[in-house]
Chain A
Amino acid sequence: MKSLRLSLIVYLLGLLLTCIVSFSLYLHHQSAQRVSAIFDKSGRMLARSTEDAEHLLQGRYQVMDQMLRANLDEALLLKAQTLASHLVRRFEFGRDILVFRLLGGHQSVHQAVLGMPGLPAVPIVGQEAVRWWTQARVIQLATLDEIDEGLLGSPRRSAPAEEFYQVSSEEELILLRSPHLGSNILPLDRKTRQKMKLFQYEFSNVTVGGRHLRLVTLKAPITRMLLIFPERRRGGGSSSNSHRPPRSSLVPVDRDIVQRGLVPTVFVQYARSVADIEETLAELRADIENVRDQLLREQEQTRLRLEEDAQAALASMRTTLVLLAVAVVAAMVVGSVVIIRRGLAPIEHIARAVSQVSEKDFQLKLAPEEVPQELAPIVARLREVLALLAAAFQREKQAVADISHELRTPLAALLATIQVSLKKMRTAEEYRQTLGQCAEIGEQLRGLMERLLLLARLDAGTAIVYPQLVDVPELAEQCLNMVRPLAHDKDLHFHFERNGVSTVFTDPEKLREILNNLLHNAIQYNRPGGRVDLELRRKEGALVIEVRDTGIGIPPEARPHLFERFFRADPSRQSDVIHAGLGLAIVKGYLDLLGGTIAVESTVGQGSTFRIELPVDGSDAPRTDASS
């Protein structure tokens, strides 16, 4: 047996569980997505910040690199220029010693190799442009030792191996060079030599003797110094030797000539090793690498920590969700049990009320306000059924009482008759009388039993119709004859109308029983001196039999019950035991069996009419009529 409450709880909990699980899964999914999005974003941000830091470091490195190199270049250029100007100064200072007059034709270039003891020969370039020169000038540059390195802005001893200079003529003669260059030469290719203009300089990276060097090449004029000479000479002319030709005689070289390249020039080169810069940069690079590594490590750590945090947060949320779900489910179990109990309370109430219905009263002890609207139809129907049941029960009880009554009275008579007879010795005649009386009572009992059995058979549907051709008027006559003595007792008169009805096809015994009962009633309930009419007629293929009396009539309230068993319109029993309130019930049962109907018309105090209609087979009727 299924429990309404249990199934409701199960369905409700199933629904709730489904809701909770889906909601939790959805929530979890959403949170996981969000957490992973946040995680990704932070990872990206972290990576970018690392990248930025890296860029910054890289930038710093580049700035440093550029700065160092720019500084170097500047220093180199400065040194080269200083050297160049120093060369001029050297020349100036040593003019008395080193200036030769050369005789020669103009418009040609003369070369001479001058030498001094201990000094390398220095080629001098003369130029055609100075055509009116009567004397050439030979410039001998100082030896290496005579170059004051201090002039170059750096202590000579401190970095002798790191800085190099070299001065060469346009003819690729090396006029001057750092002693520690050894056999190495600072390179100066021909193309550069020809391309470069005066005062122009150029930086390049070279490798000399396995060293990486930064080299600046500067094209500087030597003749520029000539511009200085006259002024100098003029300024100190008074103190100079008188045997020397006056300086004023020298033709000054104007600037224009110099700019046009018509002055002798030299290439001053100054180089410096970039090893220290590269070392510094390498250190910087290493630092940057370190920092970068550290940053990456930190980024990885942060990422891991973030991931851990995210996982922990998710796990905690999962736990919370599970706990929440468990709590909700528990609350729901309790809640649904309570709710369902409350909800089903009216049903229980009704069930209790129904269980208290007894066969005594068939009352559903339930106030209307206790019945929920939904169950009202059921309860109403239940009440109806109970009412029907109570009525049926009452009828059954009544029937049992009636049957017992009908059986008990003749039985009491039988016993009393026998016991009276047995009280003392009787004559044979007396015994004979007694036995006759007993037989009479026995007959009554038998008749009653047969009627009850007949009704039982009708109820069980085992009564069988034996139809045959029946001469209805003759049968009616027989019935009238049977009841005639009774009618005579009451001084009743019979009227019989046949109306040409002859034979019909029906069950004669049942028809006889019907007529007997109706006639009996007509006599029983008639007034003395009244009349009984029996009329036969045909109507649209039906046989109509009417029994009319002039009796007491049937009150309207009794008519619906007329065909119920043991029912009597007169609440007090009539003395006729034969009928026992079963006559009309049997009439009705037989008519149902034969397919007929019965109708009653009655006026209280004037009489009743019982009208029977029996269907007659249309094909039979004319034939039977004709045969009659």
Chain B
Amino acid sequence: MTRYVSRRVGLSLIVVAGVIVLTFLISHVIPGDPAVSWAGPHASAAQIAAARAQLGLNLPIWSQILHYFGGILSGDWGVSIRTHRSVLADLGSAVPASVELVGAALIIAALIGIPLGLVSARYVRRWPDQVARFGAVLGVSMPAFWLALIVQIVFSHDLHWFPTAGEYAPSLAYSHPIPHVTGMPVIDGLITLHLAVFWSSLTHLVLPAVVVSSYPLGVVTRMVRAKVLETSEETHTQMIRSLGFSERAVLSQFSLRLAWSPVVQVLALVFAYSLANTFLVEAVFDWPGLGNYAAQSIQSLDIPAIAGVTLFVAMAYVTLNLLVDIAQVFFDPRMRRSL
């Protein structure tokens, strides 16, 4: 067990190191001179040279990589060329917004997708199954940016059910200063009992979260269906059935339990991916998250910021992957034995 965990941790560290090198290389092939954009449009040659020295751009490439590594380890992820703030500080305000959005989307996906997958498996090859599968494939085929536009027009512009964009009503920032605990207004508003903030941020969250949930919803539904069907043919399930448990109990209590670990694994990976891949949805709803930050950084060729986002998402992906793998070995006796 300890050997397995330490090996997995070691491999993950290698992958993160590889990502650091990769982001460094990408940021070096991006055209445009960061020193020029750092110094501003009217800078003199001397000012640009000074900026180049300050950014360490005049050093040989291997020494720049080492500096880069050292900086990342010591918590210095560089300074954003666009905002002139530290990249880590920028990430600190963007990450909670994304976590709030993607977290809400995954909750929706799990709440709808798991029952849907069970229904699908219970009535396999009959109409409820066909409908659920149709819906699941529709979910994974949905162009999120398009759905975002449609949903925004219909439910906000035409029906006025939900606010158009943003994380909460801007006026609340003056009348009810947002208490900053987690950086997620929905949670902060609730735990500090600022109900006006809570309500406003919840209504702002609904539309983007529903749009982001379409892909994970499809994935979870298909996953639950497949895994439940897989286990329902195994001998222990047949034994439970022969003991007289109802088909419903067999599926929802016994088969679902075995389907948990792949579902959790897939949710964790979708979570890590969605952190940056939802940026089109974030752009449509003007959500101040990681994806929006990444998109703006790319438009202004803000290399330290792009590298920071890439690195953060990669680390989140690797860490979640690692945790899921270890948790599986921890909770699943079959996997533990195979080590």
Q: Do A and B come from one complex?
A: no
B residues with a Cβ closer than 8 A to A are none
Q: A interface vs B, CB < 8 Å?
A: none
